Structure formats: structure tokens, C-alpha cells
Amino acid sequence: METSERIKKMGEPALLKYYPLVNEAQKKGKKVYFLNIGQPDIKTPESFLNSINCLDQKVLSYQAPEGIIELREAACDYYRRLGLDYGIDDLFVANGGSEALLFTFMGICNAGDEILTAEPLYSIYKEMAAATDVKLVGFKTYAEEGFALPDIAVIEAAITPKTKAILMTNPGNPTGKVFSKEEIEILVGLAIKYNLYLISDEVYREFVYDNQAYLSPAMYDELAQNFILIDSISKRYSACGARIGFIVSKNKGLMGQLKKLVQMRLSVSTVDQIGAISLLKLDGHFFDGILKEYTRRRAVVFAALKEIPGIICAEPRGAFYFMAKLPIRSACHFIEWMITDFDDQGETVLLSPANDFYLDPRDGADEVRIAYVLNSDDMKKSMEILKHGLAAYAQIFPEKCK
Amino acid sequence: METSERIKKMGEPALLKYYPLVNEAQKKGKKVYFLNIGQPDIKTPESFLNSINCLDQKVLSYQAPEGIIELREAACDYYRRLGLDYGIDDLFVANGGSEALLFTFMGICNAGDEILTAEPLYSIYKEMAAATDVKLVGFKTYAEEGFALPDIAVIEAAITPKTKAILMTNPGNPTGKVFSKEEIEILVGLAIKYNLYLISDEVYREFVYDNQAYLSPAMYDELAQNFILIDSISKRYSACGARIGFIVSKNKGLMGQLKKLVQMRLSVSTVDQIGAISLLKLDGHFFDGILKEYTRRRAVVFAALKEIPGIICAEPRGAFYFMAKLPIRSACHFIEWMITDFDDQGETVLLSPANDFYLDPRDGADEVRIAYVLNSDDMKKSMEILKHGLAAYAQIFPEKCK
């Protein structure tokens, strides 16, 4: 029995593919630090479960496909606190940021249309593009340059008659890149000049370090008809298991069309929506302590990485990932070996190979992504394990090292 | 700004399109009985919220993309009670039956491929097909014939080299049709003969009346590699607001490919999955009282419809819908008029126009779908309102009546 060409083009996200090996290792008693996935260890605010516990609905019924009005209102209030003026008709609740993106791809692209984005990129974008017959086109950014946008001419050269949108991730995953005002204005200008959508995936919005201000294409009125904001409560409130995202746009025509996609799947989880209302009502200071904690973790990891010979990495300005070049030839081989063959007093770490964050899988062969989602002690420990792992690997596989 | 051709081809489900008018009517104090949508009034089993209340997870984290193992095990146990032998690797948890279907369409069809199904059909299939660039091809079934399958030659004539699957809804929505053993064997035979997938959407499985046995293509071992079961807890446990569905197949190659789609959206709601475990553990007798209640409702509605002059309908054998031909020319006009202009002592009913349940919107113009999802008293009252509405409509719009 045949499957579709689009599904055959999809890949397994690298951040998941080592789990069978990890299970084996754990069964043998090995402790694994999970630095491969953006699953924070921060406690989900109690208001989420408390509000669910207060639920007195006798029938757990469908909700409006666009989302519960109180949740959409709470989202508008949240955006207002950021200085953004959205009304409830400007946003739909989605099954996580993932569905928000999938529906956006389906809604703006025909089969064969192109979306332009910076590399390295969030690997799941590739799967969504394959699933919807969209072609992702990348322009490269580099750790050595702090993942800055390339010259505008490089981006313009990648725009074709098939290009429907520019997709930016701000702050960036896996790069930790936070776009400057100048960079945002370049993308805003290009979207207007070429009449493209500008999709801004801002699920890590609050994870910006060093007192940087929140900047977004959302602030440019002249872009309003071209602008689509993708959002999610997952990272912000450490609620990845509640599948609540948002598609936001002031383009009424677009939203009128996208409405058909949210109607197609009838409803988003009632319970998650009710929990999410309570989260969005938390005031801005809720995040202060969390940001302090992540700042600490970032410092611990950066200090440790600088001490490991041969590692090249920039300090991320946002999100909670380091992209690091290791002094090895195949990150995939090293990561697998760390799980199957190596341990440091019974412990090891799981990283993400960075080739998955590029469109051409030959890119990023010597890079890894390190998610600093564990507490500082565990991060410190993990970096020691990584250091010892690299040293042992160099002895066993000198030909695989640089 | 342009949107995609696929989204432009999608329509708004008729069962949702009257809500703005309904809101207006309700604001004026009119009471509306909602017979338009399959939202049962049956209480959701308390175990759902109780199990959530016991949740002691500090971090509401991502779950495995395939679903929580305990939920997949509970689903296997449930299928075992039906006489079906599935292991946890044969099923994925989905965001409702909707996502299960959407992923199935994406996974087995290229753009332009065809899926064959009986008309009238569940209207959302049309939207899913449009969203995924799939062409739905229908063969007609008729109330007068109890929505029986047409002659096998009629179905065979509709199979082309582009046909990838036959999609059956059993019990049927909107028809209430329950397939006989002979009919199931016809479809099983065709799927094998033409090497097609047979997709069986069985979300109304337990809603079968008159002591009919559960029959499914799932019982035919020779079909195992071609068979995909679509399931959902929504109707069975009156938990539409919990978005938990299943994709089930013993075809390892297919499941290996579909896994990429569930990985693409990372996770299904943790809380809904935990609640669903408790529901699937309810024993088979849980449903006895509910079936008795629906049997009563069906009798009330059927008796009332028989008393209304000019109505043609068959008694449904499953699910909780009547398809009824009314003595009017445009069900859309009548339904809208019932909401905006008619009331029976301050009350009215909302029905679904049946043209939405056909591929050609000119079909079913004089038909409506009536969901018997309210208690017997409310259903009785609703049918009286319908009777009075039809009489008043005939006086005001004789030219629109037959």
C-alpha cells in the first residue's frame, strides 16, 4: 500500500529520533540529562490546574472553533500589555503553535509555493512545509556573526514569483537570535515591497536577556495587512502539554479564510483553554523570576562551554538554546555514542544534532543544539559530562575529530 | 494579499453558519433548541474531571507524539472488548477524530488523488479534502432505500487510477445508516480488489439501535494492510470538548509514515489524555443507559415526524441524526426564517440544511438533518415547533412549498 509523496518527503525530527536508544540506556540504569528538547523544568503556574479544578461544566462540550471568547479576550489583554492592539476578531485559538503554523502554511500557500526563512531554522518547519507541499527556501546566518541577517541583496535574491511569505522566528530557535530594530525593518520593508506575508513566530517572546526591549513587526502599522503572528503559551508558562496557540492577524480577508480551517477541526480542548485563560491573566511580573533563572543557566552553560577545548559558540540573546560547533566531524555519531557507549559515573547527556536545523542535511554536521531547560546544577553537571564525553570520544575516534 | 486556492475551495460548515443569526435571536429573548450539531446533552462521566483533579504533575509537559502509553493501552483494552486485537503500536492518539482524518488524508493522498465515499456524507469531509487538495468522489444513497449501498457496479464505476481509498462512516452521519454484513463485505472486497485503503470512521460505534451487532471491516484479517480505523471519544462519552481521537491500523509501513505527522505537532493535550484514560476504562455497561435514552429520543422524534404532513424520512438505525425531506423548496431559506422571523411562544429550533452533506450543493435542497441530542421532552417540544413552523411557512411562502 502506497503512502503520499508529501509524507514520504517528511522526516523524523532529530530531537525525537534517539528516544529508542535512550530508553535502552535508561533500562540499563544510565541517567540521561535531556538537553535535546525545549521542555522547561519550570513549574506550570498553579492557576492552570486550579482553574480546571473549578470547572463545573456537566457536559464537556465543543467550544467555538475560533476559541473561547474569554480566552481570546485574555489574549488581547496580554497583547495590550505588550503595546499591541488586537481585538478578539483578530485572533483564533489553535491546537498549539504547531497548528497555528500548519494552518497558516495551508491558508497562504498553494502546492509548490515558497516560504523564505533564515537558517538554521526550527526543524519542524521543514516537516510542516513537506506536509503542505510548500517549499522552504533558506538564507544562511552564522554563529560567528551572531546569526545576523545577511545583506538585504542575499534575501532579495531568494525571492521568486512563488514566494508567498517570509517566516521569522524571534527570538530564534535554535539560534537564540533576537532581531534588532534594523533587521526587523529590513524584513518589514521586503514584505511590503514584494507584497509578501511576514510570519513572526514569537513563542519565546519573553525569553530575551540583557534588558533588550520587545520588538516585533507587529508594531508596524503599514505591515498590518501582511502580518501574521504565531504564538503559544507552551514555553512562556511552561505549559507545553496544554495545546494552546494563537494565529493573529488584522487582515480580515485572511482571517475570514483561515476561519474555515479552524471550523474544520471544530474545537480546541475545552480544559486547556480554561487553564490558559488563567495563565494569560498572570501579570507581567510573573516572568521576572523565570527570566532571572534562565539568565543564570545561560551563564553557567556559556562559562562551561568556553572551557571546553575546540567549541565555538555565541552567547544567545534570547530563547533557551545554544548552537555550538564541536571539534568533531559528525554530531549525529557523537550524540548516539554518548547515549549508547559513554557514561560519566552512570550519567550522560542527550543533545540535538544541528543538521536537522538546516534545509540541506549536509550542513551543520559538526554542530549541536543545547537546550538549557534544566536547573543550573544539572546544567553544570551536563556540561562536565559533555566535556568528558568529548575527551573520551577524541581518544577512541581520533579520525572523527578535528 | 492572496490566500491559497485550497482554502478558497473550502466552505463554512452549514451547521455553524447560522450562529450569528442565532445570537441575534437569543439577544431578543428567543429560546433556540439546537438540533443542528452533534453535541449531546448527556453528562460527561465524572471520572474525566476526577482524574484530572488528581493530576499531580508539577510541569505540564509534552507527551509522546504518539500519545500517552497508558491511553494507548486503555484503547487497546477497549478494542479487545469489541473483539478487535490491536497493540499499542497499531494506534496513535490524535487531536480528535478530526485530526485523525486530516492526517490520514495527508498521509495517503497526493494532491489530486481521490477518495470515494457515500453521499450524503459528513460535511467536514469536504473541507478536509479541500484543505489537503484531495478530490472526494461520491456515490449516492437514498433515504427511501434506507441509505443502502448502491449496486457494486455503481461503486466500481467511480474508481479511477487516482482513487486511493474508500471512506465509510459507520454508523453514518448524517444518515444514521448502519452497514450490513453484506455491505461491509462488498467494501472490503473492493478495497482488496483495487488495492485501496478502506477508512472506517466509527465515532458513533456504540450508537446502534434494535440490538444490532457491532460489525466492522476491522474484523477482516485479509484487509488488515488496507484498513484504517478512525475513532474519537467525543460522542461515545459525551466529551466533545476533550480533543481525543485515534488513528488505528495494522499496516506498519503506513503507521511509520503517519508517525511523522503526529511528531510534527509534538503532542496532544496532556490533561485531555489523562481524562480519556479514565473514560476508556469504563466498562461496556456504561453505555446501556445512554443507548436506552437515545432509543427513547429516536422514538419520540420519529413518531412526531410521521405526524407532520409531507415529511419523508427513514428511522435511523444508528448515530443520532434524522435526515428528513421537508415539503419545501429551500431548507436553507426555511432554517434561516425559523431563526429570524418565526417563533412558537418565544421558542424556535435550529436545524442543519442537508445540501451541505452532498458534494453538489444543489442536492438535498429540501432536506434537513435533525440531531436528537436533547432530552425527550425538549425533542418533543422541538418537533411541535417544527410542525408549527412548517405550517406558518406554507401560509407565508406558498410558492416555496411543495
How close does chain B come to A23, measured CA to CA in Å? 13
**What's the confidence (pLDDT) of residue B55?**
81
Phi, psi of B288 (to 5 degrees): -55, -50
CB contact under 8 A, A98 and B266: yes
Domain boundaries, chain B: 5-43+286-400, 46-280
Instruction: Give me the mean pLDDT over the B11-20 stretch.
Output: 82
- Statement: residue A57 has pLDDT above 90: no
A190: pLDDT strictly greater than 80: yes
Of A60, A109, A259, which has the smallest distance from its Cβ to B44's Cβ? A60
pLDDT digits over A225-274, tens only? 999 999 999 999 999 999 999 999 999 999 999 999 999 999 999 999 99
Distance CA A103, CA A105 (A): 5
Read off the pLDDT of residues B162-176 as tens digits, 9 standing for 90 and up: 999 999 999 999 999
A275 interfacial to chain B (CB closer than 8 Å): yes
CATH number 3.40.640.10 is the correct assignment for the domain at B46-280: yes
Nearest to A4 among B52, B108, B128 (CB): B108
Q: Quote the pLDDT of residue A72.
A: 98
Mean pLDDT of the region A315-342 = 96
Q: Cβ contacts (< 8 Å) between A127 and chain B: which residues? A: 260, 263-264
Q: Which of residues 131-170 of A touch B (CB under 8 A)?
A: 131, 133, 164
Q: What is the per-residue pLDDT for A376?
A: 95
Q: Is the bond preceding A316 in cis, omega lying within 30 degrees of 0?
A: no
Does A240 contact B at CB distance below 8 Å?
yes
Q: What percent of chain A has pLDDT over 70?
A: 100
Pairing of strands A347-350, A31-34: parallel
A5-43+287-400 in CATH: which number?
3.90.1150.10
Q: What is the pLDDT of residue A367?
A: 95
d(CA B238, nearest CA chain A) in Å: 7
Q: Per-residue pLDDT averaged across B27-37, rounded?
A: 95
**A27: burial class by Cβ within 10 Å (0-12, 13-18, 19+)?**
exposed
How far apart are alpha carbons A295 and A301 in whole angstroms?
10
**Three cell numbers, residue A82:** 505588550
Statement: residue B12 has pLDDT above 90 = no
Q: Could you tell me the end-to-end alpha-carbon distance of chain A, in angstroms, rounded to an integer? A: 45
B330 touches chain A (CB under 8 A): no
pLDDT at B56: 76
Closest CA to A146 of A111, A175, A112, A186: A175
Tell if the CB–CB gap between B37 and A99 is shorter than 8 Å: no
Q: Give the contacts of A314 (CB within 8 A, at least 6 positions apart).
A: A143, A144, A146, A147, A176, A323
Q: What is the pLDDT of residue B247?
A: 98
Across the interface, whether the CB atoms of A96 and B58 are under 8 A apart is answered: no
CB under 8 Å to B218, separation ≥6 — which residues?
A: B84, B200, B227, B229, B248
Residue A23 burial class via C-beta count within 10 angstroms: exposed 0-12, middle 13-18, buried 19 and up: exposed
Per-residue model confidence as pLDDT tens digits over A149-171: 999 999 999 999 999 999 999 99
Computed over every residue of chain B, the mean pLDDT equals 95
Select from B22, B54, B99, B271 the residue whose CB has the most chain A CBs within 10 Å, as the one to mutate to test that interface.
B271
Please list every residue in chain B whose beta carbon sits closer than 8 Å to the beta carbon of residue A271: 52, 241-242, 269, 271-272, 275
Indicate if the pLDDT at residue A39 is higher than 90.
Answer: no
pLDDT in tens, B223-251: 999 999 999 999 999 999 999 999 999 99
Q: Tell if the CB–CB gap between B6 and A106 is shorter than 8 Å.
A: yes
Q: Residues of B numbered 88-127 whose beta carbons fall under 8 angstroms of chain A's beta carbons: which are they? A: 95-96, 98-99, 102, 106-111, 113, 124, 127
Residue A68: list chain B partners with CB under 8 A: none
With a cut of 80, say whether residue A56 has pLDDT above it. Answer: no
Q: What is the ipTM of this complex?
A: 0.95
The residue count of chain B comes to: 402
Which grid cell sits at A74?
485574555
3-state secondary structure of A353: strand
Per-residue pLDDT at B284 exceeds 90: no
Query: Cβ contact (<8 Å) for A4 and B110?
Result: yes
Select from B3, B107, B164 the Cβ nearest to the Cβ of A108: B3
Q: Please report the pLDDT score of residue B53 as a whole number.
A: 83
Task: Report whether pLDDT(B16) > 80.
Answer: no
- A326-344: average pLDDT: 97
* Residue A290 contacts B, CB cutoff 8 Å: no
Q: Across all residues in chain A, what is the average pLDDT?
A: 95
Nearest to B320 by CA among B121, B37, B17: B37
Residue in chain B nearest A3 by alpha carbon? B108
- pLDDT tens for residues A91-144? 999 999 999 999 999 999 999 999 999 999 999 999 999 999 999 999 999 988
Contact A60 B113 (CB under 8 A): no
Q: Tell me, what DSSP letter sits at residue A222?
A: G
Question: Which residue from A166, A224, A173, A225 is spatially nearest to A200, judged by alpha carbons?
Answer: A166
- Rounded Cα distance, A250 and A228, in Å: 8
Asked which of A147-156, B45-54, B380-389, B392-401 is least confident by mean pLDDT, the reply is: B45-54
Cell of A393: 570520544
CB A367 within 8 A of CB A310: no
pLDDT of residue B166: 98
Position A292 scores a pLDDT of 95
Q: Quickly tell me which residue has 460489525 as its cell.
A: B215
Q: Does residue B54 belong to the interface with chain A, where contact is any CB pair within 8 Å?
A: no
Q: Do the Cβ atoms of A270 and B4 come within 8 Å?
A: no
Among chain A residues, CA nearest to B191:
A1
Nearest to B3 among A3, A8, A254 (CB): A254
- What the block records as the C-alpha cell of B308 is 407532520
- Out of 3.90.1150.10, 3.40.50.300, 3.40.190.10, 3.30.56.10, the CATH code matching B5-43+286-400 is 3.90.1150.10
Residues in chain A: 402
Give residue-wise pLDDT tens across range B349-371.
999 999 999 999 899 999 999 99
Residue A316 distance to chain B (closest CA, Å): 24
Question: Closest partner residue to A107 among B4, B43, B57, by Cβ?
Answer: B4
How many C-beta atoms lie closer than 10 Å to residue A289's C-beta?
10
Confidence of residue B319 (pLDDT cuts 50, 70, 90): very high
Rg for chain A, CA atoms, rounded: 21
The architecture (CATH level 2) of A46-283 comes to 3-Layer(aba) Sandwich (3.40)
Common-topology check for domains A5-43+287-400 and A46-283: no
Give the single-character DSSP code of B219: G
In the block, which residue shows the cell 581518544? A395
Nearest CB partner across the interface for B261, out of A96, A131, A240 = A131
How big is the A-B interface in CB pairs under 8 Å? 232
pLDDT tens by residue, B75-120: 999 999 999 999 999 999 999 999 999 999 999 999 999 999 999 9
Outline where B172-328 has alpha helix (H).
181-193, 252-264, 270-280, 286-307
Which of B109, B306, B317, B10 lies closest to A133 in space, CA to CA?
B109
Q: Is A243 on the interface with B (CB under 8 A)?
A: yes
Could you tell me which chain A residue has the CA closest to the CA of B3? A108
